[in-house]
Amino acid sequence: MKHNALIFDFDGTIADTLMEGVGIYNTMAEEYGLLKVEPADLPELRNLSAAGLFRHLGISAHRVPKLLYRGTRMLRGRIANLPLIQGMAETLPKLRSRVSHFGILTSNSVDNVGLFLQSHRLDPLFTFVSSTSKLSGKSKHLKSIRKSYNMDRSKMLYIGDEIRDIRAAKKAGVAVAAVAWGFNSKPALEAEQPDYLLSHPDELDLLLG
C-alpha cells in the first residue's frame, strides 16, 4: 500500500467551519476595528495564502495569535453543532479500515476537535489528534508525529485544504493531498504543486491503491 498513515487537517477538510469562522471573525473585527469579510469577498480571498489574507485584512503579524486564540475559544460553544464536509461521513470509516495510522493535525484546539468528532460519532476512528497554535508550525509537528508513532515517512500522507498545509507537508518531506472543498481555491492549491489535488472526498479512497 502506497500510504498507510493518513493525517488530516481539520477545519475545511473534515469539518465545514468556514462560514462559522467568518461569523466569528466579523464579531472580533467589529470589536477591534478590523476590515470585515462579506460573503461576496470569499471568491477572491480563497486565492490567498494565510499571510496574504492577513495582509488583505490589515491584520499585523503580532495580532494574529491573539485573534486565533480568541476565535478558537468562541468556536468551542458551537463546534458540536457544525456539519461534516459532505461525503466525509461515508469516506472516513472506509479509509480507516485500510491504514495503520489515522490522525488529525490542526491549528484548532484538541478540545474543539474532540467535541466535533464525538458529536458525529467519529472519535473512535482516530488514533491521535495533534494541535499547533502557530499557523506555520505544522511542518515541525508532522516530523514529531512521524517520530512519536514510528511512521515510515514515505508512506505518510497529509490531507489539507490550505496553501499552508501543502507547504508544511513539503517542508516535512511528507506527501500531501490538497482538497478543493475547503478554504483555498483549486487554482491556488494547484499552483503549489501538491502530490494530489482532489475535488471530492470519495477520491481519497483512490489514493490508497
From 9, 11, 161, 165, the catalytic residue: 9
Grid coordinates belonging to 68:
486565533
- The reply to whether 111 belongs to the active site is no
Handedness of CA 160, 111, 155, 96 (dihedral sign): negative
Amino acid sitting at position 161: D
Backbone angles phi, psi at 81, to 5 degrees: -95, 0
70 close to 28: Cβ distance less than 8 angstroms: yes
Radius of gyration (C-alpha) of the chain in whole angstroms: 16
Closest CA to 197 of 169, 175, 167, 177: 177
State the catalytic residues. Answer: 9
